[in-house]
Amino acid sequence: MNLLSIPVLLPLAAGLLILAISDRTRWLRELLAIGVTAVCFLAALNALAPALLGQHYQLTLPWLGGGMDFSLKADQLSAFLLLAVSFFSLLVSFYAFSFPDKGKAKWFYFNVLLTQSFAAGAALADSLLALLFFWEGLLVFLYTFIALSRDTAGSRATAMKAFLINGVTDLCLLLGIGLTAYLAGTMSMSEISAEKLTLNGWGGLAYVLLLIGALSKAGAIPFHTWIPDAAVDSSAPFMAYVPAAIDKLLGIYFLARISIYLFQLNGAMQLVLMTIGALTIIIAVMMAFVQQDYKRLLSYHAVSQTGYMILGIGTLNPIGIAGGLFHMINHASYKSCLFMTAGAVERQAGTGDLGKLGGLFRAMPVTAVCFVIAAAAISGIAPFNGFFSKELIYKGTLETGWLSFFIAAEVGSLLTLASFLKLGHSVFFDKRPDELKDVSEAPFSMLLPMLVLAAVCVVFGFGAAIPAAYLIGPALDNLSLFPEHALSGFHFDNLYLVSVIVILGAVMNHVYGYSAARGKASKSSDHIHYAPVLGWLYALAEKRFFDPYEQLMKRVPDFSALLYKADRFFDWLTDGLPVAAAGRLNDLSRRFHSGSYPAYMLLMGLAMTLFVLFTANSGGIK
């Protein structure tokens, strides 16, 4: 059996088997899922090792030929992504073992395994045809994952919202793949990369359509709006797995593939990508800053951090792209860890409302320490991993000469840290309510994955040379990029001084907000939330005024009423009008049928006269 078939076929078979296991069987589903994800992780390690040496595993199933074969390939970049997918699948399977609020266990693990299977296929796909197959499969399991996580109307509505948003953007992806294959004459990404497409003519349209699919999967603005809803209407294991890890990994991976591997971008498209990245950073972090729900706050940060990855890749220089790819794996690590801490707090305290939490550090010390490490990492505090990936992105933006994008990234970092000062203070360090006096630490099955991910944040920080040398560097080599600067190392330069200023600014903001809120940490963002102009914009945002999906859904009844009126009009035009006209003519003719012989003769004479005049004028009579 080819090694690449294991991470694709094994979870698929195990997921189907889980549905056949009796509900009376205790722990068998959980143990099967953990065992299968562990085997897939080992297979991914075996695929990565030779890929780092330039020896690629490949699996090709002939189909139509001409570049349309069903092809999987583990090169330096795809093998790296496969390892990440397998790693997070294993951790989430273990984490969910003791988590009660995840829906029925068989459906949860079915969705985990099927998502892993199709995500692995999408990561390994070397043909656009195979990519499309696995990509669309993920859309199906995104819907079932959310809809079955809780038996509520909210979860079903959010599932439909996620399905429709991603479904529409996937139609764009489908058109883009078809157009790309037509222009290149092949669906093989390896063959297309040998002679990259340009953005001239139809090539520009093809890239934009593919870009929409990539940005939607990554959860960038404006395709992000289902993610905060899912944070409320689904489970913490789902949020730690799909929006925080799998979707971000695949979306940014595909963005890197099309932007560097398949197409030759120009300065205009570079500006478009960097603008999308900067807007995603600022808008999402501003929304995160004012949230009062643990998971919802984290969900907006998941969107905001996507902006850093897009910004890094959008620089189109090796150092920025390296930062984007490094941040991709760093973000999945600390954001999954943060969602796991949210799930642990929700399980033990019974709520995720920041106003009802506080003082849990002593009750849940392991969870609190994992939170602090992950929060420091996402805030870009040295020496954790987020600092080093953000540093590369900052350098990449400065190399482009666009200072405004660098400023946007730094402002995003300041607000990110301010958000987590508020969150951590509210949950772990504020006064503990009497209702939470008996709260205890989460079970070991939930703590172990958090500890592993927190350790990754530390190791990839202090030991940033490890991912730089064995993951990021080889991935760049595969994309034919060779950075002039070192991808790791601690530098006491101007960027470090800026990061210190950002930290001080965030701390000062929190101190001021905390004092203005009279010692209530959960309200420490109110001075910005209700500030002039900002308060008005936040009010509109909270009413979903800026949510394209919600605004479109509000217009559906009006549009339906308009279509109904148009339908009634055409029915009257084709049915009602002829019947009314015939009835009117019938009434008129009935008046002349009076039985009067002189009247009939008069009408016949009048008709003959009109006939003669008509034919004479038309030349019929000479």
- Range scoring the smallest mean pLDDT among 42-46, 242-246, 395-399, 612-616: 612-616
Residue 620 has pLDDT above 70, yes or no: no
Q: How many CB atoms lie under 10 A from the CB of residue 261?
A: 17
Where among 528, 544, 573 does a domain terminate? 528
SS3 of 424, please? Answer: helix
Q: Quick check: is 94 in a domain?
A: no
Residue 23 has pLDDT above 80, yes or no: no
Q: What is the mean pLDDT of residues 48-68?
A: 73
Of 201 and 206, which is predicted with more confidence?
206
Where among 528, 545, 578 does a domain terminate? 528
- Range scoring the smallest mean pLDDT among 194-198, 234-238, 239-243, 484-488: 484-488
Say how many domains are in the chain.
Answer: 2
Residue 373 has pLDDT above 80, yes or no: yes
Where among 528, 547, 574 does a domain terminate? 528
**Are 459 and 520 within one domain?**
yes
**Are 414 and 489 within one domain?**
yes
**Are 459 and 389 within one domain?**
yes
Q: What is the mean pLDDT of residues 587-602?
A: 68
- Range scoring the smallest mean pLDDT among 46-50, 175-179, 412-416: 46-50
**Are 517 and 571 within one domain?**
no
pLDDT of residue 62: 76
Q: Quick check: is 109 in a domain?
A: no
The rounded distance, in Å, linking the Cα atoms of 608 and 110 is: 87
**Cβ(365)–Cβ(343) under 8 Å?**
no
Residue 66 has pLDDT above 90, yes or no: no
pLDDT bucket at 135, cuts 50 / 70 / 90? very high
Mean pLDDT across the chain: 89
Burial class (CB in 10 A: 0-12, 13-18, 19+), 455: middle
pLDDT of residue 451: 96
Q: Quick check: is 319 in a domain?
A: yes
**Are 451 and 324 within one domain?**
yes
**Are 397 and 439 within one domain?**
yes
AA identity, residue 418 = A
pLDDT of residue 116: 96
Q: What is the mean pLDDT of residues 41-52?
A: 85
pLDDT of residue 144: 93
Residue 409 has pLDDT above 70, yes or no: yes
**Are 594 and 488 within one domain?**
no
Of 134 and 151, which is predicted with more confidence?
134
CA-nearest of 279, 263, 262, 282 to 271 is 279
Q: What is the gyration radius of the CA atoms in the chain, in angstroms? A: 31
Q: Quick check: is 524 in a domain?
A: yes
Chain centroid, CA 423 distance in Å: 23
pTM of the model: 0.89
Q: What is the mean pLDDT of residues 193-204?
A: 90
**Are 429 and 480 within one domain?**
yes
pLDDT of residue 621: 47
pLDDT of residue 104: 87
Convert the pLDDT of each residue in 293-350 to its tens digit: 999 999 999 999 999 999 999 999 989 999 999 999 999 999 999 999 999 999 999 9
Q: Quick check: is 208 in a domain?
A: no
Q: Quick check: is 121 in a domain?
A: no
AA identity, residue 351 = T
Q: Quick check: is 287 in a domain?
A: yes
Convert the pLDDT of each residue in 158-192 to its tens digit: 999 999 999 999 999 999 999 999 999 888 898 89
Convert the pLDDT of each residue in 473-517 to its tens digit: 887 877 777 776 667 666 777 888 898 999 999 999 999 999 998
**Are 377 and 434 within one domain?**
yes
* The pair of three-digit structure tokens given for residue 419, joined into one six-digit string: 């958000």
pLDDT of residue 65: 60
pLDDT of residue 394: 94
pLDDT of residue 610: 82
Residues in Cβ contact with 166 at an 8 Å cutoff, skipping those fewer than 6 apart: 139, 142, 216, 217, 223, 226
pLDDT of residue 162: 93
Element at 385 (helix H, strand E): helix 385-400
**Are 498 and 565 within one domain?**
no
pLDDT of residue 622: 46
Determine the straight-line distance between the first and last CA of the chain, rounded to whole angstroms: 96
194-211 burial: b if 16+ Cβ within 10 Å, else e: eeebebeeebbebbebbb
**Are 484 and 602 within one domain?**
no
The rounded distance, in Å, linking the Cα atoms of 308 and 191 is: 30
Residue 560's domain spans which residues? Answer: 556-617
Q: Quick check: is 455 in a domain?
A: yes
pLDDT of residue 573: 78
Convert the pLDDT of each residue in 506-554 to its tens digit: 999 999 999 998 888 999 999 999 999 999 999 999 888 888 888 888 8
Handedness of CA 80, 82, 85, 88 (dihedral sign): negative
pLDDT bucket at 577, cuts 50 / 70 / 90? confident
Burial class (CB in 10 A: 0-12, 13-18, 19+), 494: exposed
pLDDT bucket at 593, cuts 50 / 70 / 90? low
- Range scoring the smallest mean pLDDT among 17-26, 458-467, 487-496, 547-556: 487-496
**Cβ(227)–Cβ(301) under 8 Å?**
no
**Are 587 and 498 within one domain?**
no
Q: How many CA atoms lie within 13 A of 99 on its CB side?
A: 32
